[in-house]
Amino acid sequence: MDKEERKTINEGQEDEMEIYGYNLCRWKLAIVSLGVVCTGGFLLLLLYWMPEWRVKATCIRAAIKDCEVVLLRTTDEFRKWFCAKIRFLSVETNPFSSPKSLANKVSIGHAVGLIENPAEENRHEMNKHSQSQSQQIRYFTHHSIKYFWNDTLHNFDFLKGLDEGVSFTSIHEKHSAGLTKGTHAYRKLLYGVNEIRVKVPSVFKLLIKEVLNPFYIFQLFSVILWCTNEYYYYAVAIVVMSVLSIVSSLYSIRKHYVTLHDMVAAHSIVRVTVCRVNEESGEIFSTDLVPGDIIVIPLNGLVMPCDAVLINGTCIVNESMLTGESVPVTKTNLPNPSVEIKGAGNELYNPETHKRHTLFCGTTVIQTRFYTGELVKAIVVRTGFSTTKGQLVRSILYPKPTDFKLYRDACLFLLCLVAVAAIGFIYTIVNNILNEVGVKEIIVESLDIITITVPPALPAAMTVGIVYAQERLKKIGIFSISPQRINICGQLNLVCFDKTGTLTEDGLDLWGIQRVENSCFLSPEENVCNEKLVKSQFVACMATCHSLTKIDGVLSGDPLDLKMFEAIGWTLQEATEEETALHNQIMPTVVRPPKQLLPEFTPAADQDMELFELPANYEIGIVRQFPFSSALQRMSVVTKVLWDKKMDAYMKGAPEAITSLCKPETVPADFEKVLEDYTRQGFRVIALAHRKLESKLTWHKVQNVSRDTIENNMDFMGLIIMQNKLKRETPAVLADLHKADIRTVMVTGDNMLTALSVARDCGMILPQDKVIVAEALPPKDGKVAKINWHYADTLTPCSNSSEIDPETIPIKLAHDSSEDLQVTRYHFAMNGKSFSVILEHFQDLVPKLMLHGTVFARMAPDQKTQLIEALQKVDYYVGMCGDGANDCGALKRAHGGISLSELEASVASPFTSKTPSISCVPNLIREGRAALITSFCVFKFMALYSIIQYFSVILLYSILSNLGDFQFLFIDLAIILVVVFTMSLNPACKELVAQKPPSGLISGTLLFSVLSQIIICIGFQSVGFFWVRQQPWYEKWHPGSDACNTAGTLDWNSSHFPNETEPDEHNIQNYENTTLFFISSFQYIIVAVALSKGKPFRQPSYKNYAFLLCVITLIVFTLFIMLHPVASIDKAFQIVCVPNQWRVNMLLIVVANALVSFLMENVFLDMVLWKVVFSRDKQGESRFTTTQPPQNSVDRWGKCCLSWVLGCRKKIPKAKYMHLAQELLVDPEWPPKPQTTTEAKALFKENGSCQTSTAT
């Protein structure tokens, strides 16, 4: 294949796609047009459903750079196809510049004058004249993103802004001057309107799209067929159902679009002030913004219409739309390398890495602070759907398909039904030809068998359980934007939890402080608010080193900072707009202690009182703030005490990060031991440090000094100990999950030891369990990457890990069967840095670590997402529960993400809990299991309904008969639909059990259930069909037949007098029809009751009162018309009279059918087959962590017999983690021994993984 014909776009990204080029072919188009006419439009529908067929049928392959149409295919497991038409954009270009070079610039987006000097671009604009020529740029649009042809890459690439490949220096020196109007117009032509536009499709468009669904096309085909066959009543009933379904679907789809449109459009168009080159500021609509524009952030704030990097001033921003936390965040200007960071000018700007300097689209700027004469300015870096908010909206508009075995198996099962229908189709044609039936009837009856075998109501029936589950979840405060995921939640076997705000209380309480004097720890102090400490540097650090701000007079900010500030009882005062404008510098935020804590000062009579000695004037101004960075794990401030000559620098953060920046001699020798003691007890520990700055550092110099200049050579001051209490319900919920054999994993941004302590306190790690800490180090100084394994000591907190007794290492227990091998529980723990190193250099160890990894500390948001992906790669069904802050990516990626935040970030999560408690997790799993079992029950019931009716019709076709119109109507409406809609009402079982429902229809238990019921129903139908023909009174029915011997009974005969003058054209009325109608009617009810399972996943069917009432009513009515004929009913149903003895015989057939069906489904299947399969699945899925009793002899006998009957041999578990667990049981090198090191053996990778060796 020519390399030009296949390329990859978005390589290495989530939306990576293969791209193929095609050109329209006229002769192919002519053939397709002829085919459309010949097939009555069906070929056109087929090509509409299959874009790859459409393109390949009408086009020929071409080089991508010259093609007219592109065919796109995703590279993920779904391999989904899309097609797009190539369009052209006309751009006026300078005649002296090469058109090809211009195309290169345009196609790589950020090279369109964004990396180059804008001034140079402006000169080009000014030099344009009448000789300018038009350049055609090729592009296509996919999922709201434009892809332009790039001659340099020889591929299509999306248009980028200032978010990639732009250095700090370039932003400050080349892009801070603004754009000319010409350059702005030029870029707007390329980038388009800055708008996240969610089009609400018209009702007509939605209607056409919905009606063209294969399901509705099949229903239309069925209705036409039934009308041809004069089945008007049923046809009308199906039309009414379809119309109601379409209206309901259109309403929900349009409501979803309107809601999303309103959410996005609420602040999408605003007027903003932009700065132009050598011009005054001017106002434009936000829709006209392009990357490179400089916007002025007003004092009273605004909702950001784009992504922009702050170059002047400071902003207080509410990012709840993105993070789920309404905590105000301080944004500072991007450091200017020429002034601040020496030698770091080549650092490239990235919106995610430098988010503390980035204002994201959709976030609300609450306040701004600036120098007099220097407005708060930001440079636009991304617009439209390229922004962070745009990407979020795109993920909602174009979600990834839900991959679930149930849906794949359902399609496979439908194909099996189609194959069965094909057999019936052929049989009907052959049988009718042999019986010399007319051509019209052959066509109608052979097509009718297809509509019987593949029921049109199947998709609607399958969604009923999900709809009911969604309503039940709403009642307990869990809301879903992706109902199809409810079923998937029934399969969850691992749940990841964020710690702070999820497992533990949202807020932290100050437990105490432990100061340092003369490099030694003092005793812990509980009360910080006292006269002794009020003027200490320790309290000064607590008073100033935070990101608190006042919004509408209320102190707001990070909960930890609030607790810390409240503990000291100080007050905070921010400068007003007037004060800032009055002085030629930023007026600082000022903090003051409570007056009652200041010592009273009485000067001597002969002593003058100095101003700075006045107690009322003790206050500290915060001159400069370096906000908290999760990457650096610290924040710092520069402050000045009123009237003091020198400034102070204070720093707080993670103890490990702070001590590394302090003078070693100021850090106590027992620092690590003290820290470990606190973290083992589950405390959150924050370290403080201080430094007196040089007097030469003036106010203005401090505003431009680099962070690294301030944050070094500090004096260690001590520790703040915060207590993060477990939520009351956490231990009980985790215990329930463990009982249900569902793994729990902690993913937190907190300290490793604190996380381990919380994991033990909440029961995630039991007291007797072993914890292996994996400390991975990246390659350095020519040395390969390595992992140091340490065993966390749980018995003696102060002992050294090297003193662990080798006998306490997890020992594998030998048993007679590999399935019974078990091991004492052990857990892996690691931090985010180690996790990244392992992902990069030890890929072959990742699955093993995922199998037992329980605590992941210091995890960044992207690392949380990577962890979810790693767990999914070993076939876990992963749930994620977080409070919304930093968890959005993981919540979206998990099979079942549930947010405990009700803010707008919950839009990214499939589920949102109204109550911020993890008790929603077992509730969701229980409802998911109930919905999943309901789906299985309904699908099995609908499949059996199809086969039962199919076999009834096949038997009747053999005598050139069929079921009557009202018989079909009674079965399909009165029995099937009513049963389906009520059997789905069983609520979830209140207890979460260890058994897990099967994930697909193609499993031994379900197939055995369906096949056994099919055989039973076919068997009893055959008995009835052939037995009635053996009766002494049997004859081929005709209007004068009197099998009941009711010549003297006027009531009965009078009802049949009209038949003598109106012959039965379709031969509906006969003894076989009547017999099969009654037996099959009861069979539908029997299989509904037999398949409507209750425990262990749903509550018993007898508690489903609607279903119970429905079943009783149907049984009573059917028994009544069978045992006590009513002339009018018999006439409507086209039932003929049969002797009373035959009615009793039919009742005996029905009773025998019911007994066999119930015994097969509820005794043999549940007590033997399901028990054996579940016990095997449970053993395979278990983490080999708890000691379980061996299988008893009955189970072993049942397993052996079942394997012999079904011809099954022992199979390797399908799930990768189950297979891996079995392998590790016989691996003598796993788990790693204490105090060993695993090194990456080679720098090269072989088949995507690294070889490892272990050295002691």
From first CA to last CA, the distance across the chain in angstroms is: 52
Q: Return the SS3 of 215.
A: helix
Place of tokens 């001017």: 282
1231 preceded by cis ω (within 30°)?
A: yes
8 Å CB contact between 364 and 301: yes
Largest CA distance in the chain: 139
8 Å CB contact between 896 and 911: yes
Long-range residue pairs from 1103-1112, CB within 8 A, at least 24 positions apart, any chain: 1103/986, 1103/987, 1104/982, 1104/983, 1104/985, 1104/986, 1104/987, 1106/982, 1106/985, 1107/979, 1107/982, 1107/983, 1107/985, 1107/986, 1110/978, 1110/979, 1110/982, 1111/979, 1111/1085
Q: State the Cα–Cα distance between residues 957 and 949, nearest whole angstrom.
A: 12
In the 3-class helix/strand/coil scheme, how is 612-629 assigned residue by residue? HHCHHHCCEEEEEEEEEE
β partners of residue 22: 61, 69
Q: State the Cα–Cα distance between residues 1165 and 1169, nearest whole angstrom.
A: 5
Q: Return the SS3 of 1239.
A: strand
Q: Are strands 59-62 and 17-24 parallel, antiparallel or unpaired?
A: antiparallel
Check 498, 561, 648, 972 and give the catalytic one: 498
Laid out side by side, the sheet with 282-285 consists of: 282-285, 271-275, 294-296, 377-382, 307-312, 358-359
How many residues does this entry show for the chain? Answer: 1256
Q: State the Cα–Cα distance between residues 566 and 560, nearest whole angstrom.
A: 10
The 10 Å Cβ neighbour count of residue 1124 is 10
Quick one: tokens of 341? 């960071």
Q: Is 761 an active-site residue?
A: no
Q: State the Cα–Cα distance between residues 800 and 768, nearest whole angstrom.
A: 18
Place of tokens 């052996």: 1200
Q: Return the SS3 of 372.
A: coil
8 Å CB contact between 381 and 291: yes
Q: State the Cα–Cα distance between residues 910 and 467, nearest whole angstrom.
A: 15
Q: Where are the beta strands (DSSP E) in 876-1011?
A: 878-882, 896-899, 911-913
Long-range residue pairs from 85-89, CB within 8 A, at least 24 positions apart, any chain: 85/140, 86/138, 86/139, 86/140, 87/138, 87/139, 87/140, 87/141, 88/136, 88/137, 88/138, 88/139, 89/136, 89/137, 89/138, 89/139, 89/148, 89/189, 89/190
Question: What Å distances lie between residue 572 and 137, 556, 648, 798, CA to CA?
Answer: 57, 11, 18, 42
8 Å CB contact between 328 and 363: no
Question: What Å distances lie between residue 1057 and 403, 827, 1037, 1038, 1061, CA to CA?
Answer: 60, 83, 14, 12, 8
Q: Which amino acid is at 789?
A: W
β partners of residue 329: 317
Q: Which amino acid is at 42?
A: F
Place of tokens 């100021």: 666
Place of tokens 């030998």: 814
Active site residues: 498
